[in-house]
Structure 1
């Protein structure tokens, strides 16, 4: 493992690069990748316990440590009690990244490569880093997909963990992806109707926009001709605390204006910067299943009939043709949709883990449904729950969620 130390304002950032197998537990496969992690400590906090941040996604790197508007809101809270390990999950950031160069060897080889980037492999990378740092046990903070990865960690290496903190990431452990996406449509129906009750004039706006999209009349700055299904996916912003403001501001604009085109592009949930997020997304709910375009197959009749109903993280096969950034990945995405994914979670092991810590479960979460989160939480009676409607799925980034979880986990008076 190679190490470098930087000073940033009042922080010490120790950067680690670690070579790990691409395929764990296969000695015949000699391929390796690099994993990057930054250990952040505040001055005087160099001896605090470790807290590993597991980023949402899949397909996104960890945030950086700068004290600036782009720094994570929760970092100061975390650094008051921990050294924070920002792990760039395999395939992202400064770990060996996934880009279009992967396609040079053919779509079959690229698809096979991507099958080794899931939560079970991320957990093995984290364990390798823990061993390199000579840390007997550490703590996890899992946001969204990072919470899924935390559950994979508890399925395999619970003895390596002291406390876990999960925000919007209590995934179902033994459900088919169809169950998840069907319930997410129910959540998006509710979110759509709540929005239109506040701004009823925007329902007619969406009717006009979807008609314009159907005629090929909406184009993004990168040349994408926006399909109706792609336009409707702007509803994903309703999964964030201030997402209704983003949606309102967009729908107030003239669709002929450059402002609308650029703001629409910025509001869409899947883009070209992180191709894994699109290509790999449905696999995050597949534990022992093939996905076969689950979100597309489970769309309810009223969503088919009413184009003003917004969708969320519901990907569509047609985007592999209509979205320029996704076209190179079409054959890979088609292949992964048919892949029989191995199990990621072991419900019995999670139940036996004795997991301690705290989890925020968001009542109105349109990405990770409340009902399935409570089902998973029932396997971990020592994990303290905060079930709240004060925040949406991104509450960790926009509110004092982490301090509340710390207080719960340590039996302190809740602030």
Structure 2
């Protein structure tokens, strides 16, 4: 298995420079291990040795990047089943690096501030800094070394697609998914969840701070990365100094249906805004829907452009400029239907690449599973079911309109609308997306399964306070009988600061507030309606300055 997994991760460009130092295997770094089964609190079972190497290193503009590849357990519950290659890109200001560190990698001590970035998704890799800009630049200016970690199954960390998953399965003696070996692949795919992601992070922290394994670091999470931050705080709070989150506070304790009821509400609001801004698109959208329903449209990669797939373009509503982007697509598509009677290759390619489901299959497979916290919970295609509920079917289900397609009044009546959907996964996707088609049986198994690991520990999160001052204030206000009472000796002090977007389509504001008020000890929050979910990129300076201010207690 190890040689195969090394091959799967070899998409990383290996430098031929003799200056790169192959770090090899750490043989004298035994760590006390703890095991867990799939339904209990995840605790790392560390192997007796942990290997890593630097597979690339280079200067670009005013930063220096090292690409570290770590060999970590595929299954933390049973490391004997093999390892997986996980990659982290470590970035410093070039002026902070030395000749020795550039060739052999930096040596981290208690004086170093490391900030590990957890990307959103699930299923998307972190970026690679090409200059001192964006949020990475803001962190570098604050003296941090930044660790951009590609979560397992993404980017350079054994990316998952059909052929790579089959290769992993083959090493475990599994047959093809198509051969009904779904249960084994279900257990395999589960090791790409937040608990394993955070176990990877904790392993990496201990390796980087090998001279002082108790040294803390900081983490920053965007969107799903913020969910992972809560997993980290749940199970390894003593490893964390600071936590920054942007649009990433999950609705802990809420059901999957609670999440998607809120998502549909936000999506209705965004559709209403869209059609108010572009009322001419009401008719255009219905004309496109009618065309797609009556015609089999094949995309350049062999996928199908159905009504349901076109509606999914509404996922873009959640980012700044998304409304205008969708308008441009609708206008162009409709104009081509009027001119040629079909959509051009260029437009079909645009639709095909509009969303990341083909290239990031975990995003489709785990879209609802990320809300399953512990055994006894199942998603059962929540978004798909709620689409056909009494409150939503007239707006989102094309089946409600089919019988009216030939009625001119239906097309001209602006009070009748077909809405775009949002960040949701539907059964039809595993027929429509070419790269998802082989995963259809696995997707159904994921949505019906109810044996999931715990990804949060509310009892620990209740103990997380941003400062002793806040703890004493809250302790005075809580009744003596309150279950939220925490003994002083149990308090975990972690500076946690979060940006919360009031109009966030993807991570509902009210669900985030529920977690802050009911699940956490205390965190510092910056709430704004100025940005959407992508505020970290759309308003980098504003968001990062506010978060730094919260960390420094400069904001009253």
Q: 1:332 aligns with which of 435, 442, 445?
A: 442
Q: Does 1:171 align with 2:250?
A: yes
Cα separation, 2, equivalents of 1:229 and 1:304: 13
Q: Is the 8 A contact 1:216 1:225 kept in 2?
A: no
Residue 379 (structure 2) pairs with residue 295 (structure 1): no
Could you state the TM-score of these two structures normalised by the residue count of structure 1? 0.93
3-state SS in 1 of match to 2:250: coil
Which residue matches 1:261?
A: 348
Corresponding position: 1:271 with 2:357: yes
Residue 110 of structure 1, CA deviation? 2.7
Counterpart residue number, 2:399:
none
Q: Answer yes or no: is the 8 Å Cα contact 1:141–1:164 preserved in 2.
A: yes
Counterparts of 1:213 and 1:139, CA distance in 2: 49
Distance 2:187 2:555 in 1: 49
Contact (CA 8 Å) 1:320, 1:330: kept in 2 or not?
yes
Corresponding residue for residue 99 of structure 1: 161
2:535: which partner in 1?
395
Higher Cα radius of gyration = 2
Secondary structure at the residue paired with 1:74?
helix
| Equivalent of 2:463 in 337, 352, 362 | 352
Taking the aligned partners of 2:285 and 2:434, their CA distance within structure 1 comes to: 24
1:49–1:138: 8 Å Cα contact kept in structure 2? yes
Which among 65, 82, 94 is matched to residue 31 of structure 1?
Answer: 82
Asked whether the equivalents of residues 73 and 398 of structure 1 are also in contact (C-alpha less than 8 Å), the reply is: no
Match of 1:43 in 2: 94
Q: Which moved more, 1:401-410 or 1:105-114?
A: 105-114
Which has the higher relative contact order, 1 or 2, with Cα contacts under 8 A spaced 6 or more apart? 1
Greater shift in the superposed pair: 278-287 or 142-151: 278-287
Contact 1:88 1:94 in 2 (8 A): yes
RMSD: 1.9
| 1:221 lines up with 2:300 in the alignment | yes
5+ long unaligned stretches in structure 1: none
- Indicate whether 1:20 and 2:82 are aligned: no
The 8 Å contact of residues 219 and 244 in structure 2, kept in 1 or not, is answered as yes
Asked if the contact 1:39–1:83 (Cα under 8 Å) also holds between the matched residues in 2, the reply is yes
Tell me which of 172, 189, 192 is aligned to 1:114. 189
Q: How far 1:44 sits from its partner (Å)?
A: 3.8
Point out where structure 2 has 5 or more consecutive residues left out of the alignment. Answer: 1-51, 98-110, 168-174, 337-342, 397-417, 466-493
Instruction: String of CA shifts for 1:205-249, please: whole Å, max 9, x gaps.
Output: 111111112112544322333122211111110100111121111
1:210 paired with 2:289, answer yes
Kept after mapping to 2: 8 A contact 1:58/1:276: yes
TM-score of the superposed pair, with normalisation by structure 2 = 0.70
Task: Report the Cα distance in structure 2 between the residues aligned to 1:226 and 1:72, rounded to whole angstroms.
Answer: 38
Could you tell me whether the CA contact under 8 Å between 1:72 and 1:397 is conserved in 2?
no
Alignment equivalent of 2:150, drawn from 82, 88, 93: 88
2:510 alignment counterpart: 371
Q: CA deviation at 1:77?
A: 0.7
Secondary structure of the corresponding residue to residue 306 of structure 1: helix
